[in-house]
Amino acid sequence: MSRPAALNETRIRDFRVSTYRPVVGETVEFTGYLEFRRPLTWWWEPVEGEPVHLVVEGRVVDTQPTGKGGWFKLRWTPTKTGKYLAWVRYDGSIWNNPCESAKVGIEVITEEQRRQEEMRLMGTIAVIGGAVVAAIVGTAAYLHYQRQREEMLTLVAARGR
């Protein structure tokens, strides 16, 4: 059975993902707005009360109706490590065309991997912080040396007169 052509163009706006590298068991949230535009108009209007689906690796893992303003929040809690492709899908209605969000890669890691990444990041921050402190101390020492040198030259010049 073929479906008649829908009247309204649809889109998912402000699509956001809470994290792209969650730990196993950490909930990932996908949020955004579902909107439609009538033919020959320039403005977008919210689609309220229509179901949107969170798809992970081709399987629907969460379905929620859009709320006020077309806003939606879908959740997924990964149970094992790996790389996954996820997106939000709207199947359309008699009035609205179907649409999909951008497809995003999610890499699920272990708690140990997260700890190692944080330690590596802290080490990088410490090195940068140490370099900044060394630059400040070095500049202060150089300025102090210059000031003392100028004072000595002034004293030598005063004795020579």
d(CA 88, CA 30): 8
**Matching residue, tokens 């993902």:** 17
Q: Give the CA distances from residue 18 to residues 32, 34, 64, 124, in Å, rounded to whole numbers and listed in that order.
A: 11, 18, 17, 24
pLDDT band of residue 1 (cuts 50, 70, 90) is very low
Round the average pLDDT of the chain to a whole number and report it.
90
Note the pLDDT tens digit of each residue in 94-106.
Answer: 888 899 999 999 9
**Matching residue, tokens 């210059």:** 146
CATH for 9-109? 2.60.40.10
Query: 33: which strand partners?
Result: 13, 71
- Spell out the domain ranges in the chain: 9-109, 111-161
Please, are residues 68 and 19 in contact by the beta-carbon 8 Å criterion? no
Joined together, the tokens standing for residue 134 give: 């060394």
Note the pLDDT tens digit of each residue in 138-150.
Answer: 898 888 888 888 8
Q: What is the pLDDT of residue 2?
A: 54
